[in-house]
């Protein structure tokens, strides 16, 4: 007769006590998500997208754009590190990650070790807590999957991504072929 064994339920304290070993540790519903350090193409996509979003968000005074690492805790006993995220305008500037209570946008750039977590676990979490948009950027496929709460399938975008948060008059527009050419460091004719 086999013995039943309990599945370990991780806590934020347990995750925060893990060593700084190059891995990314996240926590969703008591489950520990571990992904290795990202590859250069991932970081290039994150950096470029964050710069482009920052120009837009700052111009319209919508909030603030951040990049990981950042221990975002939108629910108790949950820690996520979105690659890029937009915090809505707040009365006081963000001083600690625990100040962040909501997001306008969460973005994950796929890496070989993150595909399942990004497309399933994190997507379901962001929808549950009401993040209005969640983007999964796939540099290999040169595609962005846009998810909104209630979506059963993503909107798969390969040409243009347009985002108009809340009542922001002007949209953020990202021409995806140009974006991915820059991420892949390809020369493009003007």
- The answer to whether 139 and 124 are in contact (CB under 8 A) is no
Structure-block tokens of residue 129: 């807590």
Structure-block tokens of residue 48: 């470029």
- Of 118, 66, 55, give the one whose Cα is nearest residue 88: 66
Structure-block tokens of residue 31: 């489950």
pLDDT at residue 61 above 50? yes
Chain mean pLDDT for the chain? 88
More confident residue, 190 or 139: 139
pLDDT at residue 3 above 60? no
Pairing state between β 105-109 and 134-138: parallel
Other CB atoms within a 10 A radius of the CB of residue 162 amount to: 10
The percentage of the chain sitting over the pLDDT mark of 90, rounded to a whole number, equals 54
pLDDT at residue 34 above 60? yes
Q: What is the DSSP string of 16-82?
A: HTS--SS-EEEEETTEEEEEPPPPHHHHHHHHHHHHHHHHHHHHHT-EEEEESS--B-SSTT-BB--
Cα gap 140→181, rounded to integer Å: 11
* pLDDT, average across residues 153-164: 96
pTM here?
0.85
* pLDDT, average across residues 40-64: 95
Sorted by sequence, the CB contacts under 8 Å of residue 66 that are 6+ apart come out as: 50, 84, 85, 86, 87, 94
* pLDDT, average across residues 22-28: 81
pLDDT at 189: 56
pLDDT at 1: 41
pLDDT at residue 20 above 90? no
- In tens, the pLDDT along 100-158 reads 999 999 999 988 767 777 787 888 899 999 999 999 999 999 999 999 988 999 999 99
- Enumerate domains of the chain plus CATH numbers: 22-183 (3.90.1570.10)
pLDDT at 188: 60
- The answer to whether 157 and 143 are in contact (CB under 8 A) is yes
């Amino acid at each position: 007769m086999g013995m039943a064994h309990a599945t370990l339920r991780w806590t934020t304290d347990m995750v925060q006590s893990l060593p700084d070993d190059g891995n990314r540790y996240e926590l969703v519903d008591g489950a520990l998500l571990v992904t290795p350090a990202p590859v250069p193409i991932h970081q290039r996509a994150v950096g470029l997208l964050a710069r482009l979003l920052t120009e837009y968000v700052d111009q319209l005074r919508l909030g603030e754009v951040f990049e990981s690492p950042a221990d975002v805790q939108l629910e108790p006993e949950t820690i996520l590190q979105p690659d890029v995220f937009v915090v809505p305008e707040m009365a006081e500037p963000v001083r600690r990650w625990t100040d962040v209570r909501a997001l306008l946008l969460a973005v994950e750039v796929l890496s070989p070790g993150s595909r399942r977590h990004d497309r399933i676990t994190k997507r379901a979490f962001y929808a549950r807590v009401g993040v209005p948009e969640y983007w999964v950027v796939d540099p290999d496929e040169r595609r962005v999957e846009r998810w909104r709460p209630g979506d059963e399938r993503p909107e798969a975008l390969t040409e243009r991504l347009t985002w108009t948060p809340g009542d922001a008059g002007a949209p953020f527009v990202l021409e995806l072929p140009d974006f991915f050419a820059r991420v892949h460091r390809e020369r493009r004719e003007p």
